[in-house]
């Protein structure tokens, strides 16, 4: 009778290599690779095992984060294994010829590097850059400068494999949407104009036409537009058509408007699309009517996150009523995150009615930073509401007028909750380090996993 060992099937080395390439978890991948090395069956992945001795594993697999330091130390090994790497992120821009030679269309290539400044042959560099098989270009941490903008956007016209594009700075929005209109695979677009009114991105009639064509034919998932304005020649009907195209896009999951005026956005005529899960209005000067219309649109939607960050909205009864209507709509929704920052929702707003609306919500996270909320409404109305709520696990009250006594009331309320808070954030300055330490101790005692107090100013002496 044959023994167990004699019946064991030993897979060929090339099959083992193909199997390991399907392992996405970094720790599991290198454990598997180490086992292959010990068995002498690493084969073509031996250089990758050697790279694991020199570099952080998370920088190697499943995404290779290619830096100048890594290339200087390990050029030959990198060249040997690049063909097996599914995802490459470029973090430096110096050796464009090497990148053109070794990156292939079979990879997912993410560009996250600063563009060269002061290059004597800048046009030629960008011509080569456009030949790279780029799928994702991020120029957010490294905004596009006035000097590089013309050459960058001339090159961008030829990047036809993009699925994601994130740009900040001197953005030629006309070129971006000309490219988008010709694409059926650009799914995520994140654009932010420059600082100052004269550097904002400008939406013209042609830009709107291209944008609507892109929204109609591509499976758009995310759209963010920040620091922009309308060209004066664009009439209200065209503006409304643009907004309508966004809200009709069946695949859109994230919509984000920032640092702009949305006076022509008529939310009474728009329906929140079923796929939309995140909707953000950051410094958009929404009117009370727009906020009320947004509240009406929440019914039946799948929205999970709503963020409205104001510019110190007027403390008028119209705004209070609109935000109250919004809170009531939230209680009837499945929304998990509500972010109302700098909206002037002060103690006057947080009376019994609106506090009760918060208590009835199914929210997991509420952000009410910089709303001039003081101990008065905390103790009288918000603490009872939070205590009775059964779903909240993250509360952010940063930058309000809440003293250590108000924070203690919030912490003590957690003791009676069926669902303990994961996080309470009340970041502000404290004059006394002893008070901060006392609050941290009380948080532990009351079962609050994380208490964020922010920066502590310790008296000198």
Q: SS in 3 state form for 19-42? A: HHCCCCCHHHHHHHHHHHHHCCCC
How is residue 445 written in tokens?
Answer: 């005692």
Distance separating the N- and C-terminal Cα atoms of the chain = 85
pLDDT digits 0-9 by tens, 273-308 = 999 999 999 999 899 999 999 999 998 899 999 999
Instruction: Supply the DSSP string of 28-96, one letter for each residue.
Output: HHHHHHHHHHHTT--GGGHHHHHHHHHS-GGGTSSEEEE-HHHHHHHHHHHHHHGGG-SEEEE---S-H
Residue 354 belongs to domain with CATH number: 3.80.10.10
Residue that terminates a domain, selected from 69, 85, 101: 85
Residue that terminates a domain, selected from 85, 106, 130: 85
Per-residue pLDDT in tens (0 to 9) along the chain, 461 residues: 445 554 555 567 678 778 888 999 999 999 989 998 998 888 889 999 999 999 999 999 999 999 999 999 999 999 999 999 999 999 998 899 999 999 999 899 999 999 887 666 888 999 999 999 999 999 988 899 888 999 999 999 999 999 999 999 999 999 999 999 999 999 999 999 987 777 899 999 999 999 999 999 999 999 999 999 999 999 999 999 999 999 999 999 999 999 999 999 999 999 999 999 999 999 998 999 999 999 999 988 999 999 999 876 677 899 999 999 999 999 999 999 999 999 999 999 999 999 999 999 999 999 999 999 999 999 999 999 999 999 999 999 999 999 999 999 999 999 989 889 999 999 986 667 888 899 999 999 999 999 999 764 333 33
- Asked if residue 337 is part of any domain, the answer here is yes
* Residue whose C-alpha is closest to residue 190's, from 145, 150, 218, 226: 226
- Asked if residue 297 is part of any domain, the answer here is yes
Residue that terminates a domain, selected from 85, 116, 149: 85
- Asked if residue 45 is part of any domain, the answer here is yes
- Asked if residue 416 is part of any domain, the answer here is yes
- Asked if residue 322 is part of any domain, the answer here is yes
Q: Provide the number of structural domains found in the chain.
A: 2
- Asked if residue 270 is part of any domain, the answer here is no
- Asked if residue 303 is part of any domain, the answer here is yes
- Asked if residue 333 is part of any domain, the answer here is yes
DSSP secondary structure letter of residue 199: G
Residue 54, domain extent:
13-85
């Amino acid at each position: 009778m044959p023994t167990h060992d004699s019946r064991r099937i030993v897979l060929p080395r090339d099959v083992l290599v193909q199997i390991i390439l399907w392992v996405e978890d970094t720790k599991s991948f290198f454990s598997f690779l180490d086992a292959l090395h010990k068995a002498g069956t690493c084969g073509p992945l031996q250089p990758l095992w050697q790279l694991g001795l020199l570099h952080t594993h998370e920088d190697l697999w499943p995404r290779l984060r290619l830096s100048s330091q890594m290339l200087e130390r390990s050029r030959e090994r990198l060249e040997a294994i690049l063909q097996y790497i599914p995802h490459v992120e470029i973090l430096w821009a110096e050796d464009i010829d090497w990148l053109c030679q070794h990156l292939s269309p079979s990879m997912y290539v993410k560009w996250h590097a600063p563009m060269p400044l002061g290059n004597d042959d800048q046009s030629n560099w960008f011509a080569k850059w456009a030949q790279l098989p780029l799928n994702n270009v991020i120029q957010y941490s490294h905004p596009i400068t006035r000097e590089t903008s013309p050459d960058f956007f001339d090159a961008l016209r030829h990047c036809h494999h993009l699925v994601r594009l994130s740009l900040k700075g001197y953005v030629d929005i006309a070129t971006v949407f000309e490219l988008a209109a010709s694409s059926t695979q650009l799914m995520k677009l994140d654009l932010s104009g420059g600082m100052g009114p004269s550097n904002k991105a400008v939406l013209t009639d042609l830009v709107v036409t291209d944008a609507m064509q892109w929204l109609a034919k591509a499976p758009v998932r995310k759209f963010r537009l920040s620091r922009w304005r309308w060209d004066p020649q664009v009439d209200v009907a065209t503006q409304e058509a643009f907004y309508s195209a966004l809200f009709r896009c069946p695949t859109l999951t994230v919509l984000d408007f920032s640092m702009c005026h949305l006076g022509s956005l008529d939310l009474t005529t728009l329906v929140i699309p079923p796929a939309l899960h995140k909707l953000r209005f950051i410094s958009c000067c929404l009117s009370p009517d727009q906020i009320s219309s947004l509240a009406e649109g929440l019914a039946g939607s799948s929205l999970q996150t709503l963020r409205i960050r104001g510019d110190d909205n007027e403390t008028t009864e119209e705004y209070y009523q609109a935000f109250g209507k919004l809170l009531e709509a939230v209680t009837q929704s499945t929304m998990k995150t509500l972010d109302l920052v700098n909206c002037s929702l002060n103690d006057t707003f947080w009376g019994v009615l609106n506090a009760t609306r918060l208590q009835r919500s199914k929210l997991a996270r509420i952000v009410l930073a910089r709303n001039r909320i003081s101990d008065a409404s905390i103790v009288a109305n918000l603490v009872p509401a939070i205590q009775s709520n059964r779903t909240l696990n993250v509360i952010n009250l940063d930058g309000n007028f809440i003293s250590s006594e108000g924070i203690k009331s919030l912490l003590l309320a957690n003791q009676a909750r069926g669902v303990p808070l994961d996080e309470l954030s009340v970041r502000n300055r404290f004059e006394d380090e002893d008070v901060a330490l006392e609050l941290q101790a009380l948080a532990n005692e009351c079962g609050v996993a994380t208490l964020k107090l922010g920066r502590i100013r310790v008296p000198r002496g």
